[in-house]
Copies of this chain bind each other. A is one copy, B any other.
Amino acid sequence: MPKPIKILRTRNELQHWRAGLEATRPTVGFVPTMGALHRGHAELLRRIRPRCDVSVLSIFVNPTQFGPSEDLAKYPRTFERDLELACAQGVDVLFAPAPEEMYSSAHSTFVEETQVSRPLCGQFRPGHFRGVTTVVLKLFNLVRPKLALFGMKDAQQFFVLHQMNRDLDLRVSVEAIPTVREPDGLALSSRNAYLSADHRELAPRFYKTLAETSTRLRAGAPLSATLEAGRQALEACGFTVQYLDCVELPTFNSPNVVLPGCPYLLAAAVYLGATRLIDNVIVNPAALTAIGYSAPSFEPAESS
């Protein structure tokens, strides 16, 4: 019979449980989430299990990473289903604190990454990555994991956290797994539930366009014209494009040209109605493993 999952609601409970592990010093694996779990999260949990003695899942809709005009209040909360999925994946501990448990009314300390977090989503969601780094640092300090897994759907988030981990000497293995997709290519996201039927039908064109744009860039097409063509293709079929851009990895600097054998992140945010979707492709992913990023994170995208 599988071990029952342990549900912890407070930092004190978590710290007490964590301190109790010290004697045996197990490898703790950690998957932080905002809940509304889907197969992408299941894949994170499936992959972390064989790599640790004890697995911790957190579910916390983090208020500090939502802007004032964003969807904090209506972000999907599906705790009972999330719990089922966590149990099915053999999670040992579920940490699900209330907002006031994580942030006292006097909270005033934030972690800010100032380079990787600036372009792409950072331009359009001021304060978002500051909220992400702050809550993930807090969670790392509470859970004290050896390994933490993130999804490549949120590629910029992963690179920001990777940078934070290195800069602040956190000594966690911060790794990413490839984006899990629907059969038609749409990246799984808790926000896909917001899409109308028509928009859901259109949505796979998003990734398809990114993959085509990546293929053209790898083949030597000029950078800015190719990005502009991608943007126009998306707008033409009904997306409102917030950005479609390409940055050097891991610096997130803007390149003038795409060089063969160098790694880049091609990323975009689009709206279908009021629903904001993001997706990305790593260009030349093999080049990332050479600079210390783990290989499974960056499987090449299939181009159509």
Which residues of A pack against B, CB within 8 Å?
11, 15, 22, 25, 104, 106-116, 133-134, 137-138, 141-142, 163-164, 166-171, 251
Contact = CB atoms under 8 A, between A and B. Distances in A.
Contacts of A107: 167
Nearest to A114: B108
A163 B114 contact: no
Contacts of A138: 167-169
Copies of this chain present in the complex amount to 2
A165 to B, nearest CB: 9
A110 B113 CA distance: 6
B113 A168 contact: no
Contact of A112 (B112, B116, B141): B112
Contacts of A112: 109-112
B171 A108 contact: no
A115 to B, nearest CB: 4
Contacts of A113: 108-109
Contact of A110 (B108, B114, B166): B114
A168 B114 contact: no
A148 to B, nearest CB: 15
A114 B109 contact: yes
Nearest to A137: B168
30 contacts: A11-B169, A15-B171, A22-B25, A104-B167, A106-B115, A106-B163, A106-B251, A108-B113, A108-B114, A108-B115, A108-B167, A109-B111, A109-B112, A109-B113, A109-B133, A109-B163, A109-B167, A110-B111, A110-B114, A111-B111, A111-B168, A112-B112, A134-B168, A137-B168, A138-B167, A138-B168, A138-B169, A141-B168, A141-B170, A141-B171
